[in-house]
Amino acid sequence: MNVKDLMTELERKHPGENEYLQAVREVLESIEEVYNQHPEFEAARIVERIVEPDRIFTFRVTWVDDKGIPQTNLGYRVQFNSAIGPYKGGLRFHKAVNPSMLKFLGFEQTFKNALTTLPMGGAKGGSDFDPTGKSNGEIMRFCQAFMLELWHNIGVDTDVPAGDVGVGGREIGFMNGMFQKLARQYHTGVLTGKGETWGGSILRPEATGFGALYFVEHMLKRDGKDIKDKTVVVSGFGNVAWGASKKATELGAKVIGVSGPDGVVHIPGGMTNPMIDFLLELRSSNQNIVAPFAKKFPEATFTAGKKAWSIKCDIALPCAFQNELNGDDAAELLKNGTWCVAEVSNMGCTPEAIHAFQKAGILFAPGKAVNAGGVATSGLEMTQNCMHLSWAGHEVDEKLHFIMESIHEACVKFGLNKNGSIDYVKGANIAGFMKVAQAMLEQGIY
Ligand code: 2IT
């Protein structure tokens, strides 16, 4: 394969889809060398096939707002790759959602899911619906209207959506209710991230953040370090940032900064448990601002317009959105002595930022490895649903630990540098790719 030629061809087929092209370029650059050692991959044109989604559904979603006015949004489901299992991946409700964003997320999901050790293909979906400022009733009506179309294309052995940005337990509840009504069947397993009383897995809300910290612990341990007493900053205040803050604090670290679209909150003494739980209140208020945190807790100070990356810290955890940490942010972190960055959001760092971290030789790991505990626990939820039982919290946690350790080992196996350090980007990309590519190869040309 020739990355340049492949990218030229892809740019022709998907003009202007920059996030999707960015995600593909990163994977191709990582796997090029290994791929070229496998003539059987080239003969089956695996790479040309793996970069394209299997299919995309686009649909109109019309719902009625609180003023009685009909509103129309666009809905999507990108079924990216099902070589190793049914399509699996979240739904994102955010005003910036478009086909390029969902293709990048579906592509990443394919490799991430392969890393989890579980049999799940990759997908992503969502809508340009903006939950900011919406009432509970509006959210419910939108979710129901969205499911009115989506339900035709999903199923326990076909495609199992979950949450992502703007979609949490509340939204999954509204969608599951409508799915049952339409299907006239109680399918516990058609969505994951369900409530605990109706088929959800214990620990699923925490799993992305918890898993990320288990991964960070392994990275640090391999480097002879410990997370205890280290300072951490996070961006965002959804389930992911909440789970990451909770586990980091439990492990003895101090979470001293959290940011939102409006600015950053600095908590020099570290977050307490009530502060961590307040993150969820911020999220469910649908205001999408972090400033109220500093009003509620006088120990914290809010600075408008600044990012979490402006705070001096040991460990930085992007937990909000793609490309939220750019080259300038990376330079600031490095100047302040940050020595570990783990993407908890999907593609949280720009290529310039990743390059700067790798050049500086600090610990860096990509989202598809770090945040895979979320979808892995979704996989565990699917297994429990299939078996019609619920595992206890400690059973799920044990499995999550095992999965995160396996992912770390896979990264080490494929990402070991000559100097003994680990290129986690390369390691995660090769490990995920090899599994999906092998599965595609063995199933013929289709
Ligand atoms: O990015 C992700 O891995 C998710 N949003 C979770 C997907 C899932 O199916 O649990």
- Other Cβ atoms less than 10 A from the Cβ of 297: the count is 16
Q: What is the mean pLDDT of residues 25-30?
A: 98
pLDDT of residue 88: 98
How many residues make up the chain in this entry? 446
The domain 3-185: what is its CATH number? 3.40.50.10860
pLDDT of residue 357: 98
Q: Is 374's C-beta closer than 6 angstroms to any atom of ligand 1?
A: yes
Going by alpha carbons, the residue nearest to atom 3 of ligand 1 is 375
In 3D space, the residue among 273, 223, 268 whose CA is nearest the CA of residue 248 turns out to be 273
| pLDDT over 90 (residue 408) | yes
Identity of the amino acid at 190:
V
Q: Is 377's C-beta closer than 6 angstroms to any atom of ligand 1?
A: no
Q: What is the mean pLDDT of residues 90-101?
A: 98
pLDDT digit string, tens, across residues 58-85: 999 999 999 999 999 999 999 999 999 9
Dihedral sign of CA atoms 178, 209, 200, 382 in order: positive
76 φ/ψ angles, rounded to the nearest 5 degrees: -145, 155
Rounded to the nearest angstrom, the distance between the alpha carbon of 320 and the centre of ligand 1 is 13
Question: Is residue 7 very low, low, confident or very high in pLDDT (cuts 50, 70, 90)?
Answer: very high
CA distance 356 to 350: 10
Atom nearest to 204 CA in ligand 1: 10
pLDDT of residue 360: 98
Query: How is residue 396 written in tokens?
Result: 């799920």
Rounded to the nearest angstrom, the distance between the alpha carbon of 375 and the centre of ligand 1 is 5
pLDDT of residue 153: 98
124 a catalytic residue? yes
| pLDDT over 90 (residue 363) | yes
Crossing angle of helices 99-115 and 372-387, in 10° steps, is 70
Domain boundaries, the chain: 3-185, 205-365
* Whole-number average pLDDT of the chain: 97
Question: Do the Cβ atoms of 274 and 303 come closer than 8 Å?
Answer: no
pLDDT of residue 188: 87
pLDDT of residue 187: 81
Question: Is residue 186 very low, low, confident or very high in pLDDT (cuts 50, 70, 90)?
Answer: confident
Query: How is residue 214 written in tokens?
Result: 């288990």
CA distance 446 to 154: 21
Q: Fold match between 3-185 and 205-365?
A: yes
Atom nearest to 378 CA in ligand 1: 10
pLDDT above 90 covers what percent of the chain?
A: 99
Q: Is 90's C-beta closer than 6 angstroms to any atom of ligand 1?
A: yes
Going by alpha carbons, the residue nearest to atom 9 of ligand 1 is 89
In 3D space, the residue among 143, 150, 201 whose CA is nearest the CA of residue 172 turns out to be 143
Query: How is residue 98 written in tokens?
Result: 């478009």
DSSP state of 325: B
Angle, vertex CA 135, rays to CA 131 and CA 138, nearest 5: 75
Q: Of these residues, 88, 103, 112, 124, which one is catalytic?
A: 124
Going by alpha carbons, the residue nearest to atom 10 of ligand 1 is 375
Atom nearest to 346 CA in ligand 1: 1
Rounded to the nearest angstrom, the distance between the alpha carbon of 164 and the centre of ligand 1 is 6
In 3D space, the residue among 333, 327, 331 whose CA is nearest the CA of residue 311 turns out to be 333
Q: Domain 205-365, what architecture?
A: 3-Layer(aba) Sandwich (3.40)
pLDDT digit string, tens, across residues 111-125: 999 999 999 999 999
Of the residues 375, 381, 385, which should be mutated to test ligand 1's pocket, given the most ligand atoms within 8 Å of the CB? 375
Alpha helices by DSSP H, listed for 51-135, are 99-115
pLDDT digit string, tens, across residues 126-178: 999 999 999 999 999 999 999 999 999 999 999 999 999 999 999 999 999 99
| pLDDT over 90 (residue 185) | no
Of the residues 371, 380, 385, 407, which should be mutated to test ligand 1's pocket, given the most ligand atoms within 8 Å of the CB? 371
- Other Cβ atoms less than 10 A from the Cβ of 157: the count is 11
Q: What is the mean pLDDT of residues 390-414?
A: 98
Question: Do the Cβ atoms of 237 and 229 come closer than 8 Å?
Answer: no
66 φ/ψ angles, rounded to the nearest 5 degrees: -65, -20
pLDDT above 70 covers what percent of the chain?
A: 100
